[in-house]
């Protein structure tokens, strides 16, 4: 599960994974772009849960999950 929160002019992407909550401030001010990133992150979370994808760097979950998307 992932969602957006407004932080000033930018968006904060918040998500839960394995019972932990993570936050990542996106360098985006356009809501549609932020929504697109959120949808992609949700797909990656689903893939992780099904074992179809692995985090490139498990020590940094937020950056690994969002990676080149933002």
Confirm whether 4 is domain-assigned. no
pLDDT in tens, 33-49: 999 999 999 999 999 99
Confirm whether 24 is domain-assigned. no
Query: CA of 13: how far to CAs of 25, 44, 52, 60, 63, in Å?
Result: 6, 14, 23, 15, 11
d(CA 54, CA 31): 28
pLDDT at 43: 95
Contacts of residue 14, defined as CB under 8 A and 6 or more positions apart, other chains included, come to: 2, 3, 4, 5, 21, 22, 23
Q: Which 8-state DSSP code applies to residue 67?
A: G
pLDDT at 33: 97
Range of the domain at 54: 31-70
How many domains are contained in the chain? 1
Strand pairing category for 10-17 and 20-26: antiparallel
């Amino acid at each position: 599960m992932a969602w957006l929160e407004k932080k000033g002019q930018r968006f904060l992407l918040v998500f839960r994974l394995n019972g932990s909550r993570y936050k990542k401030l996106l360098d985006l001010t356009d809501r549609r772009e932020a929504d697109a990133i959120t949808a992609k992150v949700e797909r990656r979370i689903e893939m992780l849960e099904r074992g179809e994808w692995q985090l490139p760097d498990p020590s940094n979950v937020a950056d690994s999950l969002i990676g080149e998307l933002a």
